[in-house]
Amino acid sequence: MSRQAYVNGHFYAHGDAMVHVEDRGFQFADGVYEVWAVFDGKLADFKGHMDRLERSLDELRIDRPMSRAALTNVLRETVRRNRVRDGLCYIQITRGQARRDHPFPDPPVAPSLIVTSRSVDQASAAAKALKGVAVVTVPETRWARCDIKSVALLPNILAKQAAKEKGAAEAWFVDDLGLVTEGSSTNAWIVDSEGVLRTRDTNANILRGITRHNLIDLAHEAGIEVSQRPFSVEEAKQAKEAFFTAASAFVMPVISVDGTKIGDGKPGPITSKLRTIYLENARSAAV
């Protein structure tokens, strides 16, 4: 069966799924999104992503297109129709379609809703995690509301492309103080030279990653202490281990930062343990 996408109340063949030219998502990036990992056809970290989606909408004063229960059905139906066992489910909600004008449409229009889902080759992702990946650093150039999961991702895209052109898998943004904020689509972590697991606190201008949040709890349960405080690029280079987290990457070991080897240049033991714990937990808690 070919892929299908949900657009504003209907499922379409993926190639025919369209939004209007004057959708505010297209015109202004006036919208938000979420990404769930899918395990065995079920949505991982379901509540966390749903809560953050509603928060992002509220922060931007975009109406909810339907109830949480109805939206859950649409997400599940999209996964089902695309026969996704292991993969991703993507939702985007924009302020809707209206004549191009910067203020919110008046009278308001219905928000637009799209949902897609696709399979991911988890075997090749696992192989990547066994080897680890490279990271480069780039200056932080984003707006001051990175806690909102907005579709306005231009700095993130430029950063990811810069990483790709240097043979790296991710770019870590670095603020004016030389401290890492987060990755272009992931949260950044190290096991520092003292052996302390560190990731930036959420008072900083970063996305409050759901994988990050759950991993902090899982680390505590496993007796691994987490310190939520910033680290510099220099500290990252001298770290024993490094990794990044996201729904699309789980826990991905980092083996170099700007060409400097981390530890012995292989995924570290704490990182590998956390990846295993996270995957086991997320798979069994998926709904």
Q: Is 6 or 46 the residue whose CB approaches ligand PDD more closely? A: 46
With beta carbons less than 8 A apart as the criterion, state whether 242 and 189 touch: yes
Smallest distance, ligand PDD to C-beta of residue 106, A: 31
Smallest CA-to-CA distance from 171 within 142, 198, 147 is with 142
Residue 181 found at the interface with ligand PDD (CB under 6 A): no
Task: Report, in Å, the least distance between residue 103 CB and ligand PDD.
Answer: 27
* Residue from 138, 163, 247, 262 binding ligand PDD (CB under 6 A): 247
Site string for ligand PDD, 193-232 (x = CB under 6 A): --------------x-xxxx--------------------
Asked if residue 238 binds ligand PDD (CB under 6 A), the reply is no
182 belongs to the binding site for ligand PDD (CB under 6 A)? yes
> Comparing C-alpha atoms, which of 180, 286, 270 is closest to residue 218?
270
Beta strand 226-228 pairing with 180-183: unpaired
Cα–Cα separations (whole angstroms), residue 59 to 56, 63, 70: 5, 10, 21
Nearest approach, Cβ of residue 26 and ligand PDD (Å): 18
Contact flag: residue 185 with ligand PDD (CB under 6 A) = yes
Tokens standing for residue 187: 């949260």
149 is catalytic: yes
Residue partners of 215: CB distance under 8 A and separation at least 6: 245, 251, 274, 278
Contact positions with ligand PDD (CB under 6 A) in 2-61: 35
Helix (H, G, I), strand (E, B) or coil at 72: helix
In the structure encoding, which two tokens stand for residue 20, read together?
């209007």
Please identify which residue in the block is written with the tokens 């200056």: 139
SS3 category, 253: strand
246 binds ligand PDD (CB under 6 A): yes
Q: How many CB atoms lie within 10 A of CB 119?
A: 14
Q: Which is nearer to ligand PDD, 76 or 160 (CB)?
A: 160
Q: How far is the CB of 246 from ligand PDD (least distance, A)?
A: 4
Tell me the closest approach of the beta carbon of residue 210 to ligand PDD, in angstroms.
4
Q: Which of 42, 47, 128, 149 is catalytic?
A: 149
User: Beta-carbon neighbour count of residue 75 at 10 Å?
Assistant: 23
Tokens found for residue 94: 């924009």
Give residues 96-155 in contact with ligand PDD (rule: CB under 6 A): none
Q: How many residues bind ligand PDD (CB under 6 A)?
A: 15
Site residues (vs ligand PDD, CB under 6 A): 35, 156, 182, 185-187, 207, 209-212, 245-248
Among all residues, which ones are annotated catalytic?
A: 149
